[in-house]
Structure 1
Amino acid sequence: MTSAADPVRYHLVRLVGGLSAPLRDTVGGLVDRPGKLVRSRLLTACAEFGRPDAGRVARLGAVVELVHLASLVHDDVIDRAAIRRGGPAVHRAAGPELAVLAGLACLSAAGMEAADLGEGVATAVSRTVAELAHGELLDVERGFDTGLPLPDYVDLVRRKTGVLFRLCCLLGAVESGVDSAAVAALAEFGVEWGIAFQVLDDCLDLEAAGDDKPAGTDHLLGLFGAPTLAALRRDTTGELHRLLLTPSFSGGDLPRVRELVTAHGGLRAARTLADVHFGRALAALGRTPDGPARRALVRMLEASRP
């Protein structure tokens, strides 16, 4: 499943391995398919501003990846997603009840590991989990809201994605031993990158199908991303609004949605919005100590831009 040469995955497997068999088996597929481990890589990069304890950094990386894994499991239940990381979504394989319990068990395991790493770590992780839950609730509440203002959507994205990026940067920065000003700058960098990351993901969701799910399927649940919300503001004909709220709306209507969003400049506007937050992330990074660690973070940020 993993090797000592991959310490974050080693600890991720260890934490999930401590769950009871039904719960462990329920999320085992996602542990075997860990994705790009962006969040633990971000934490590790922030820790490189100092001389951190490599063992603690690996354990912290496993904590943030486990929180992320749990959020994916719960998000897929709510969104009724069929595919995750190239395989069946957990709730499709094990049922929604067991998926929810497995996600809770993962959050509990992450919390216990965080507590073992120190009170400050435990507090930061618990606050982030609370904000993630709030963000998920806001996402559900805004279903089929074609009038949702973009600033409100950005606030939602900040809670759903930005806060976990912020946690990675915060934990890594504290482990590095940098001063409080640099810790604050790195935390701001994380949340701004997280917002840009999610807005770009909204764009990719419309532009092409990937391994995770067919393109645009969030629209079937009334969950409209930044490109669609921006296009709705520009559509003077009202066609996009009417289409999205048609009772018979189905997957067969998604190609027309993509056409309308593109025609009304929604994708272009969303990418401009992402660029604004990428710029803010870079500005925050500019307030950190210059050196290899900062340059590595710049490279990570730039690599995530299309």
Structure 2
Amino acid sequence: MSNFWIDYPQVLEELTTVKSIIKKNIKTSEKHFEESIAPFVEQGGKMLRPAFLLLAAKFGEYDEKKMYNLAATIEMLHLATLVHDDIIDDSEMRRGVETIQSKYGKEYAVYVGDFLLCQSVNMISKYDYKMDKMRKISKAIRNICMGEIRQYHFRYIRKVDIRKYIRIISAKTAALFVLSFSIGAEEAGCNESIVRLFGRIGYNIGMAFQVIDDLLDYTGDTEKLGKSAQMDLKQGYYTLPIIFALEEDKNREIANILEKESFDDDDVKKIISLIKKYGGIEKTKKVADRYTKRAFENIDKLPDCESKDILKQIVEKLIHRNY
């Protein structure tokens, strides 16, 4: 797990428990399988989704074991989407370790992702969760898939407008944030208004998170952003910074580069320079700021407690991250 939660020892301890549940649920009679998936699970990440679920649940009746299992379910669902994303993106590294698809092949990685997805659903049956939890999880999976399908459909299309981009990321990223917050609050017995409020919080945090993630491809560490931006551009995935810049690219400076059969590091550097020139960075920052502001406004409406304070601090930390 990353050091993201190091200043919040109680949350860190709970997420360690959640991870142990995940590790228990990937155990099979096939040692080779466990060896292939263990580094990916062990490396972890920020584990935002299970953490948000637990924080939301603390606004109601907090049943530790039940919530830990539910949080592990949500994280395993997220892990499944990451494995499949790496296949589509042909990614070699994830969280500092070689991806499953790179090390073992795409066919094997498909089965690993499917296994994680099935296990996340299977874990719901271990506790007396309400049946509508299955429907909500199924709906979230469907939204994530549709978001990825829409994004794939718009590959290499330089006239993707902002509304289409928003629709894509609201499905592929924000949907699981919404689910994490709302399902945690609902399962803890929070009243309907609080559950809906957490849904709005999850949506706005998820949107801000993805917009900032796309922004970091063009403003982060030079070596890292070069590889990340180049991969997206080569695969025809145009995110908000380049969408904004293309709107102002009257002389087709960016378009001419994108139309090349292949482009090198210098081309990527030129595109990044033009994105900055045409205001793509600043306009994207403003979009992220709007979603962040809405998230804070909604968080302020929550009852005062330690979890509310932690949530505000974490959102602040997320918007100022550089990774």
Q: Partner residue of 2:254?
A: 240
Corresponding residue for 2:227?
A: 214
Q: 98-107 or 116-125: which moved more?
A: 116-125
By how many angstroms is 1:144 displaced?
0.8
CA contact (8 A) 1:23 1:101 kept: no
Distance 1:123 1:143 in 2: 30
CA distance in structure 2 between the aligned counterparts of 1:60 and 1:135, rounded to whole angstroms: 24
Match of 1:94 in 2: 104
- For structure 1, the residue ranges without an aligned partner over 5 or more in a row are none
Answer yes or no: is 1:104 the counterpart of 2:114: yes
CA distance in 1, matches of 2:225, 2:256: 28
TM-fit CA distance, 1:30? 0.9
Alpha-carbon distance between aligned partners in 2 of 1:273 and 1:212, rounded to the nearest angstrom: 20
CA RMSD of the aligned region, Å? 2.1
Give the whole-Å Cα distance in 2 for the aligned partners of 1:132 and 1:232.
27
- Per-residue CA deviation, residues 54-110 of structure 1 (Å, 9 max, x unaligned), is 111111111111111111111111111121101112110110011011101100000
TM-score normalised by the chain length of structure 2: 0.88
User: Which of 43, 57, 68 lines up with 2:67 in the alignment?
Assistant: 57
**Alignment partner of 1:151 out of 142, 163, 169:** 163
Please tell me whether the aligned partners of residues 226 and 268 of structure 2 are also in contact (alpha carbons under 8 angstroms): no
Is contact 1:43–1:61 with CA below 8 Å preserved after alignment?
A: yes
Q: How many Å separate the matches in 1 of 2:245 and 2:58?
A: 41
- Mapped partners of 2:290, 2:30: distance in 1: 45
2:203 pairs with one of 191, 198, 213: 191
Rounded to whole Å, the distance in 1 between the matches of 2:265 and 2:33 is 33
Contact 1:4–1:10 (CA under 8 A) maintained in structure 2: no
What one-letter code is carried by the residue in structure 1 that aligns with 2:206?
G
Offset at residue 291 of structure 1 (A): 2.9
Q: Percent of aligned pairs with the same residue?
A: 26
Q: What residue in structure 2 maps to residue 290 of structure 1?
A: 304
Aligned length: 305
Which residue is equivalent to 2:213? 201
Q: Which residue of 2 aligns with 1:122?
A: 134
Q: How does 1:1-306 map to 2 (within 5 A)?
A: 6-18=16-28, 20-117=30-127, 118=129, 119-209=131-221, 214-216=227-229, 217-306=231-320
Asked if the contact 2:76/2:120 (under 8 Å) is kept, the reply is: yes
Deviation string 1:226-285 (CA, Å, 9 cap, x unpaired) is 111111112222111221221122444211111111111111111110111112222332
Is the 1:23–1:105 contact (alpha carbons within 8 Å) kept by the matching residues of 2? no
**Structure 1 residues 250 and 80: CA distance shift in structure 2, 3 A:** farther
In 1, the alpha carbon distance for the partners of 2:212 and 2:240 equals 9
- 1:92 is matched by which residue type in structure 2? S
Further displaced range: 25-34 or 286-295: 286-295
- Aligned to 1:224, the other structure's residue is in SS state coil
Structure 1 residue runs of 4 or more that deviate by more than 6 Å after TM superposition: 210-213
Structure 1 residues 211 and 34, CA, compared in 2 at 3 Å: closer, same or farther? farther
AA matched with 1:38: L
Gap regions ≥5 residues in structure 2: 2-12
Contact 2:248 2:278 in 1 (8 A): yes
Higher relative contact order, chain-length normalized (CA < 8 Å, sep 6+): 1
Report if aligned partners of 1:42, 1:168 keep a CA contact under 8 Å in 2. Answer: yes
Output one character per residue of 1:125-148: Cα deviation in whole Å (capped at 9) or x when no partner.
221111111111111111111110
Q: Secondary structure at the match of 2:160?
A: coil
